[in-house]
Amino acid sequence: ETGVTQSPTHLIKTRGQQVTLRCSSQSGHNTVSWYQQALGQGPQFIFQYYREEENGRGNFPPRFSGLQFPNYSSELNVNALELDDSALYLCASSRSGGFQETQYFGPGTRLLVL
Amino acid sequence: LAKTTQPISMDSYEGQEVNITCSHNNIATNDYITWYQQFPSQGPRFIIQGYKTKVTNEVASLFIPADRKSSTLSLPRVSLSDTAVYYCLVGDNNNNDMRFGAGTRLTVKP
């Protein structure tokens, strides 16, 4: 167990809807990163938040947005859902940003868009 | 960010040593090499990280040759529970973009 929790575990939405996924980071960690993992592929970096500020973003459109709260928990919001957004969404917390810091992943939220 | 290349899959048997090699020809001077393990329906889990030569921890060893253009993750005496996908990543602390490739799917057979 990493101490990183995500909710909900599973979610079904329809195309065009909006979704909010939540992540609670490990105690003492101030950085949260979000990833999208399609079936059979490796995780793809969406963005990272460090001390409530966005600290890097991958190749995802603006309809993917996020927040980090003062307690360092985080939300991922996806607007105007598309079928291709169906995936496992992972969050990972770390002591700080940067490649050398070990990232501790949560179990993920599996999103299905119909 | 340096691109990494790994075998798509590998098979092994219980009790054997498994070596998974990752190529990263364009690795930069400040880059580190990190390996993660992922079981189905779980998030990746950190295994080991290194910069050069050899690093060993309680679960694996990481061998990095002098030119650092490749690295080898060594898992001693694998068991069925080591069946997972293994990812090799390369980057430096200016990168917060963890680039996971497709990984290597290791299947351990009885």
Q: What is the pLDDT of residues A65-81, one digit of tens each?
A: 999 999 899 999 999 99
Q: What percent of chain A has pLDDT over 70?
A: 100
Closest partner residue to B96 (CB to CB) among A41, A56, A110 is: A56
CA B14 from centre of chain? 19
Q: What tens digit of pLDDT does each residue of A25-62 get? A: 988 899 999 999 999 899 999 999 998 999 889 999 99
Whether B41 and chain A come into contact, CB under 8 Å, resolves to: yes
Q: What tens digit of pLDDT does each residue of B27-48 get? A: 989 889 999 999 988 999 999 9
Whether A71 and chain B come into contact, CB under 8 Å, resolves to: no
DSSP secondary structure code for residue A102 in this structure: P
